Structure 1
């Protein structure tokens, strides 16, 4: 167990088996073909276990969008400049971003969080900014480590504390999002170190890099993996070497989901890297996670397979901000409605479906 986090991690208890068994039994009695809602049924059962209650409620849901800048942008690995992070973050506080519009439709409260944007921000009133700034962006990891170990731990603890605040406010479900120019580069580097796989296989175009930009991005990551990999003793070392404050903070959010027993929705590639870091820090943490979709980034499928989390949506999305996670919430709503309100076979006085025998 990582020493700096042991007081938090010691609070984690596994999902409640009795609640999950009750939820599975309820699904078996709902008057429809067995397992016909697929992953949605499994996720409702998972939520019952997380919440220790077979009466699944998703009434209050929030989205944490962790925003931070990344010094690696100096190396020409992005199509746009670092200044875009601040502009988009401020737009989020005004409700004027893709995910904010989607969240309004899905009935999700939005919490933009400044984890390390490179300038001070002016908050709008629609979704007021939570200021948890650790520093004005990370350092350029081609020249030196992105952050100190203490900063990485602080970011992780901040994510855990954010989940504690949402728990106190009665949230039933939390979606994850991020905003930070350059964070597909930090995430690809972290993924390469976590998975011990070639950056070539894991690194994509992010927000629209051309061929030359992609080549530069992969070269930068390959150099960093060779430079820092041998010295990384644990996941905190990986995050401090090549990560971002948003990535480390999201790692804490996933750990916080396990600590405070709130199901956490992965968004895409970046949140999946954070989820894997959390699972490596505390094996079993994935039992408190739900995968919303498969990112179009090359590592999207690889990360979900490593986590053992089947996605709800396959739509080729790669926008970030939490858009995939928010898009999945109405699907969970519909599944929860079927689970909670549909007639049983006994109610309609017909014989229940039986599991099919093996036809092979």
Structure 2
């Protein structure tokens, strides 16, 4: 708990002076005002985060957090839980979707076992921070103890800090956990007070009962566990997931070290929402990537006041959308560094 408290206390606001200087330079560039759209706002945000007029994000790290979910016992997904361990082992081998996408910007992919149902070999290339062998079935009781939820967040903080110490300029959040759209929708339903059916989607493959049954399982879990919407850690513990907690920690850790963090789709956005509830200043460090196909993703993004950059009809997870957005950050940095102002252009022509 102390690491979480210390991290939250270390999160400061962004550098407003650097943001203003960045805006002034962008407005002076040899182009119509606002004509590069979101690239301009990304550049300003990166300047505010880093305190640099010409920020760089050369060293990119995707952190994929893996864990299983006891609620799969309720038949909310058609995918077997074995897929979680299979894919967790596949990330270090470079064979997953996020690895293929991350490769185009030479982004490093780090895999963390925070709660996979099976033991992962120590030589598998996976960082082992297992808290428990998957969450308990939230349809029959709390998904985990409150202390376990805090531990999951602190795992994310530690891993993020380690990568930043090694030189990471920007982090991305990813996850692997069969059934994890169910706890994500449950968290969102609690925090918004809306009916679970409004935030429940297909996921990676909905069970035979369909979306209505999946929503009913979520409603049962909420009714049974009575998570307190004013205590976001209580919500995470009772109806959440270990990898959701770990991604929350990554976001908090990035903000505490003044590093940008690119979030993926629905599940990552739920982690961002939890981080925001713990410390609202984290929002200035979050860069949204893509608009997930999950219905709850749009609602969660609206709650955070963020707008995804990419509309690619994606719902893979893993951090695939975050990795796909990395080149946009490079483009924003290149715009700041390599585009000339009208005044600079005139000087070049005189040479």
| TM-score normalized by the length of structure 2 | 0.95
Q: How many residues align?
A: 347
Task: Extract unaligned runs of 5+ from structure 1.
Answer: 351-360
Counterpart for residue 144 of structure 1 = 141
1:96 and 2:87 equivalent?
no
1:28-107 correspondence runs (5 A): 28-107=27-106
Counterpart for residue 261 of structure 1 = 258
Match of 2:288 among 282, 288, 291: 291
The verdict on how the C-alpha distance between 1:31 and 1:105 changes in structure 2, with shifts beyond 3 A counting, is same
Post-superposition CA distance 1:230-260 (Å, at most 9, x none): 5555111000001111001111111112111
CA RMSD, 1 decimal: 1.7
Counterpart for residue 338 of structure 1 = 335
Q: Work out the CA distance in 2 between the residues paired with 1:123 and 1:293.
A: 33
Post-superposition CA distance 1:268-316 (Å, at most 9, x none): 0000001001101111211110000111000121111111112110111
The verdict on how the C-alpha distance between 1:211 and 1:41 changes in structure 2, with shifts beyond 3 A counting, is farther
1:242 and 2:223 equivalent?
no
1:188 and 2:176 equivalent?
no
- Measured after TM superposition, the shift of residue 185 of structure 1 is 0.4
Q: Secondary structure at the match of 2:136?
A: coil
Q: Work out the CA distance in 1 between the residues paired with 2:183 and 2:59.
A: 32
| TM-score normalized by the length of structure 1 | 0.93
1:121-132 correspondence runs (5 A): 121-122=120-121, 128-132=125-129
Q: Secondary structure at the match of 1:10?
A: helix
Cα pair 2:206 2:214 within 8 Å, conserved? no
- Measured after TM superposition, the shift of residue 11 of structure 1 is 1.0
Match of 2:308 among 305, 311, 325: 311
- Measured after TM superposition, the shift of residue 211 of structure 1 is 6.4
Q: Secondary structure at the match of 2:226?
A: helix
Q: Secondary structure at the match of 1:118?
A: coil
Q: Secondary structure at the match of 2:63?
A: strand
Task: Extract unaligned runs of 5+ from structure 2.
Answer: none
- Measured after TM superposition, the shift of residue 41 of structure 1 is 1.2
Counterpart for residue 320 of structure 1 = 317
